[in-house]
């Protein structure tokens, strides 16, 4: 039976970044990916990330895994008004996920990782001194296992007892389309009950007349909202379409256990405000790799040693997740009138753009301060209260 120090389930951004970090530090690492090829399709993910995300991975921002660069966001309120805001001085990048993960996979192979594609992990058998993985066609042995199998992975529930599905998994539909669209440097965000109740719709330009258009919603069928949005933006041809889940419930209460770590979407480590999880999953993956290297060096995979992973990611992201979750809870209750008033007030006050593409709390806190209760229009206050009172009363 083939043995490794660490086996990782899933070759998404989180699993591959864990593998790169651990293998570079001398950990014998294997990654198992159930699909024959690594990488999400264009319809499965918006691919919008910060420049920081690629810097973290020491990847060039001009690599062919970057499909486009954007600098502005246009926010459309339910009543049809719009607000254009900056995405910060460095803008944001739109990844071709297939090519991004292929690049990470080749880095992982170069670092000495064994990558098994087309191999699904079926079962984990946790022993006192080792772990056994039953996979398609065989069994592997390791000293610790990492669940990086994404939002629907069941291994975190089985090993840590936390059910991600009870946290907010929001259905989303996205398509890559042809669209008659001049401005390739702006993403569009569409708000409102008729567009995407409880979340938002989006258009992410890919250049050359193509875009990713998507909608996620707390109620209803996202495919219906996507269809409406495609009509609204005048999409002429649909290349590819997918329905998946976006995670907005914040991280699990614990992400480590006996010889076990949970990383990325599997651990709920995506931004509660937008569901974006490439940067956060990558960062947590790198931190998981460091902890696994320490465990391998000391020969101790005790929960105490593995708890270092949780301590390190909570130090960097814990507060941010909490603040984003707070704003997410408010946002999902806002009615259309409140959204209209907020967009109109922000346009009047010419607010600055995003301060940081990953750490939204800075921008959100500033917006709240900027608008300030003292200058808030009575109409906004009325609609905010109407939106929030049922939530506060637990209705
Ligand atoms: C419509 C949509 C748009 C999005 N847009 C953005 C965006 O613009 N920016 C952003 O940052 N995030 C975005 N996200 C979120 C982003 O896609 C995820 O946060 C990110 O992919 C999480 O990476 P991961 O490695 O944790 O999991 P995944 O990317 O889901 O990778 C998990 C991998 O594990 C494999 N796997 C699962 N189970 C097994 C098993 N038993 N055996 C072997 N392999 C297994 C899967 O095949 C998969 O390849 C979007 C999500 C959706 C649904």
ipTM of the complex: 0.99
Residue 371 pLDDT class (50, 70, 90 cuts): low
Residue 245 pLDDT class (50, 70, 90 cuts): very high
Per-residue pLDDT reduced to its tens digit, 214-228:
999 998 999 999 999
pLDDT of residue 376: 57
pLDDT of residue 374: 43
Is there a contact between 306 and 295 (Cβ–Cβ < 8 Å)? yes
CA of 265 to the centre of ligand 1 (A): 7
pLDDT of residue 272: 95
Q: What residue's CA is closest to ligand 1, atom 19? A: 277
259-269: string of b/e by CB count within 10 Å (b at 16+)?
A: bbbbbbbbbbb
Assign 3-class secondary structure to the chain: CCEEEEEEECCCHHHHHHHHHHHHCCCCEEEEECCCCCCCCCCCCCCEECHHHHHHCCCCCCCCCEEEEECEEEEECCCCCEEEEECCCCCEEEECHHHHHHHHHHHHHHCCCEEEECCCEEEEEECCCCEEEEECCEEEEEEEEEECCCCCCCHHHHHHCCCHHHCCEEEEEEEEEEECCCCCCEEEEECCCCCCCCCCEEEEEEECCEEEEEEECCCCCHHHHHHHHHHHHCEEEEEEEEEEEEECCCCCCCCEECCEEECHHHHCCCCCCCCCCHHHHHHHHHHHHHHHHHHHHHCCCCHHHHHHHHHHHHHHHHHHHHHHHHHHHHHCCCCHHHHHHHHHHHHHCCCCCCCCCCCHHHHHHHHHHHHHHHHCCHHHHHHHHHHHHHHHCCC
Using a 6 Å CB cutoff, which residues line ligand 1?
Answer: 9-15, 32-35, 40, 45-49, 120-121, 148-150, 153, 172, 174, 214, 244-246, 264-265, 270, 275-279, 281
pLDDT of residue 365: 76
Which atom of ligand 1 lies at the shortest distance from residue 15's CA? 25
| Position 183 pLDDT exceeds 80 | yes
Mean pLDDT over residues 20-43, rounded? Answer: 96
Residue spans per domain, the chain: 3-45+96-166+253-327, 332-392
Lowest mean pLDDT among 55-69, 166-180, 319-333, 379-393: 379-393
Mean pLDDT over residues 371-377, rounded? Answer: 56
Mean pLDDT over residues 26-36, rounded? Answer: 98
Averaged confidence pLDDT in the chain: 91
Architecture of domain 3-45+96-166+253-327: 3-Layer(bba) Sandwich (3.50)
pLDDT of residue 36: 96
Mean pLDDT over residues 118-142, rounded? Answer: 96
Q: What residue's CA is closest to ligand 1, atom 4? A: 45
Lowest mean pLDDT among 79-88, 104-113, 260-269, 355-364: 355-364
Mean pLDDT over residues 52-73, rounded? Answer: 95
pLDDT of residue 21: 98
Q: What residue's CA is closest to ligand 1, atom 17? A: 45
| Position 394 pLDDT exceeds 90 | no
pLDDT of residue 367: 75
Mean pLDDT over residues 121-149, rounded? Answer: 96
Q: What residue's CA is closest to ligand 1, atom 2? A: 45
Ligand 1 pocket test: which of 17, 38, 46, 104 has the largest number of ligand atoms within 8 Å of its C-beta? 46
| Position 99 pLDDT exceeds 80 | yes
């Amino acid at each position: 039976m083939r043995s490794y120090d660490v086996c990782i389930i899933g070759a998404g951004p989180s699993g591959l970044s864990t593998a790169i970090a651990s293998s570079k530090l001398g950990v014998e690492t294997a990654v198992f990916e159930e699909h024959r090829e690594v990488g999400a399709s264009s319809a499965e993910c918006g691919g919008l990330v910060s420049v920081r995300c690629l810097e973290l991975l020491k990847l060039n921002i001009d690599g062919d895994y970057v499909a486009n660069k954007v600098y502005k966001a246009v926010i459309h309120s339910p009543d049809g008004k719009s607000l254009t805001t900056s995405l910060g001085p460095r803008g944001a990048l739109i990844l071709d996920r297939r090519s991004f993960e292929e690049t990470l996979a080749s880095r992982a192979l170069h670092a000495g990782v064994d990558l098994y594609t087309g191999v699904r992990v079926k079962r984990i058998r946790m022993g006192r001194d080792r772990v056994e993985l039953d996979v398609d066609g065989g069994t592997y042995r390791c000293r610790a296992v990492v669940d990086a199998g994404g939002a629907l992975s069941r291994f975190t529930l089985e090993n840590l007892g936390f059910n991600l599905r009870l946290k907010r998994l929001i259905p989303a539909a996205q398509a890559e389309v042809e669209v008659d669209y001049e401005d390739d440097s702006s993403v569009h965000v569409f708000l409102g009950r008729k567009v995407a109740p409880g979340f938002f719709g989006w258009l992410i330009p890919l250049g050359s007349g193509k875009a990713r258009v998507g909608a996620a919603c707390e109620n209803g069928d996202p495919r219906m909202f996507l269809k409406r949005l495609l009509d609204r933006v005048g999409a002429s041809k649909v290349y590819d379409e997918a329905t998946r889940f976006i995670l907005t419930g914040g991280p699990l209460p614990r992400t480590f256990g006996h010889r076990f770590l949970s990383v990325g979407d599997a651990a709920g480590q995506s931004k509660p405000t937008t569901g974006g999880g490439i940067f956060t999953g990558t960062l947590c993956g790198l931190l998981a790799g460091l902890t696994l290297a320490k465990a391998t060096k000391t020969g101790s995979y005790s929960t105490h040693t593995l708890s270092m992973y949780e301590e390190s990611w909570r130090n960097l992201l814990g507060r941010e997740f909490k603040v984003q979750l707070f704003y997410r809870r408010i946002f999902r209750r806002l009615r259309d009138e409140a959204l209209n008033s907020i967009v109109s007030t922000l346009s009047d006050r010419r607010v600055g753009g995003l301060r940081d593409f990953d750490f939204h709390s800075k921008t959100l806190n500033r917006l709240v301060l900027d608008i300030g209760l003292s200058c808030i229009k009575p109409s906004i206050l009325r609609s905010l209260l109407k939106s929030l009172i049922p939530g506060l009363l637990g209705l």
